Amino acid sequence: MELRDALAQRHMVRSFSTEPIAPEALGAVLDAATRSPSAGNSQGLDLVVLEGPDRTARYWDVTLPASRRAGFRWQGLLRAPVLVVVAADPDRYVARYGEPDKARPGLGEERSAWTVPFWHVDAGMAVMAMLLRATDLGLGALFFGIFEHAAAVASALGVPEDRELVGTVALGHPDPNLAATEGHGRSADRPRRTDQIHHGTW
Ligand SMILES: Cc1cc2nc3c(=O)[nH]c(=O)nc-3n(C[C@H](O)[C@H](O)[C@H](O)COP(=O)(O)O)c2cc1C
């Protein structure tokens, strides 16, 4: 697929078939994340890959207790054969920007000095690379937030305490039984802004 087509066709998929992802395809999507740009080449990104129903169930057991599951809007999301939890390592950026070739005032000392936390920027770039590669391979993907469940997910998956969970990428084959507009998020139908690009001045 041409890059322009992947960019045009990419959209969030919230309902999947149960078909597993071929190992080479999953490997290619994960590889895209590790090849994405990284501030100072800090590479403070880790991915916890949950493959197959037994492992993905560990995620849903923590974030969506049985009592709430039946009423969950995105039942097809629970079928996603792979969930990738995206973790950032802020201290790695602080350490990197404390090195002599960087040494920006404050950035090498503490996280709070960063007006733009580059560990979040890097994570976003990595996620976008995964989403595009998934589209390229005919797979569906959704990036979604972990919100108040971050600590519980980190604990259940053995993520070190100094990491920040940025979100989760669900991957799989799009549900073939779904009408084109079903599975759209509440946000997807919001009109696209046409005033975002400011040439020369705001
Ligand atoms: C940072 C970020 C967080 C998001 N969180 C969620 C989420 O928690 N649940 C969800 O269903 N979609 C989530 N989305 C998907 C957006 O709703 C979606 O990207 C937007 O509506 C545009 O639709 P499209 O990506 O299909 O073009 C998130 C997207 C981003 C970039």
Check if 120 has its Cβ closer than 6 Å to any atom of ligand 1: no
Q: What is the pLDDT of residues 38-78, one digit of tens each?
A: 999 999 999 999 999 999 999 999 999 988 999 999 999 99
Contacts of 119 (CB under 8 A, 6+ apart): 39, 42, 44, 45, 88, 89, 90, 92, 93, 164
Q: Per-residue pLDDT for 6 more than 90?
A: yes
Q: Which of 143, 146, 149, 166 to mutate to test the pocket of ligand 1 (most atoms within 8 A of CB)?
A: 143
* Ligand 1 centre distance from Cα of residue 13 (Å): 10
Cα–Cα distance for residue pair 101/170, rounded to 1 Å: 38
**Side-chain half-sphere CA neighbours of 184 within 13 A:** 9
Which parts of the chain fold into alpha helices (H)?
3-9, 23-34, 53-63, 66-69, 90-96, 118-136, 150-157
Q: What is the pLDDT of residues 67-125, one digit of tens each?
A: 899 999 999 999 999 999 999 999 999 999 999 999 777 899 999 999 999 999 999 99
Sign of CA dihedral 176, 179, 184, 186: negative
Q: What is the pLDDT of residues 185-197, one digit of tens each?
A: 778 788 999 999 9
Q: Which of 7, 9, 12, 122 to mutate to test the pocket of ligand 1 (most atoms within 8 A of CB)?
A: 12
Location of structure tokens 């350490």: 95
Other beta carbons within 10 angstroms of residue 65's beta carbon come to 9
Per-residue model confidence (pLDDT) at position 84: 98
Burial (CB count <10 Å: 0-12, 13-18, 19+), residue 52: exposed
Burial (CB count <10 Å: 0-12, 13-18, 19+), residue 195: exposed
Cα–Cα distance for residue pair 22/8, rounded to 1 Å: 24
Mean pLDDT of 121-139: 98
Domains of the chain by start residue, with CATH: 3-37+44-66+73-89+117-172 (3.40.109.10)
Contacts of 10 (CB under 8 A, 6+ apart): 131, 132, 135
Nearest CA to ligand 1 atom 24: 11
Check if 144 has its Cβ closer than 6 Å to any atom of ligand 1: yes
Per-residue model confidence (pLDDT) at position 105: 76
Per-residue model confidence (pLDDT) at position 180: 56
Location of structure tokens 């974030």: 63
Q: Per-residue pLDDT for 30 more than 70?
A: yes
Q: Could you tell me if 120 and 126 are in contact, meaning their C-beta atoms sit under 8 angstroms apart?
A: no
Chain centroid to Cα 43, Å, comes to 15
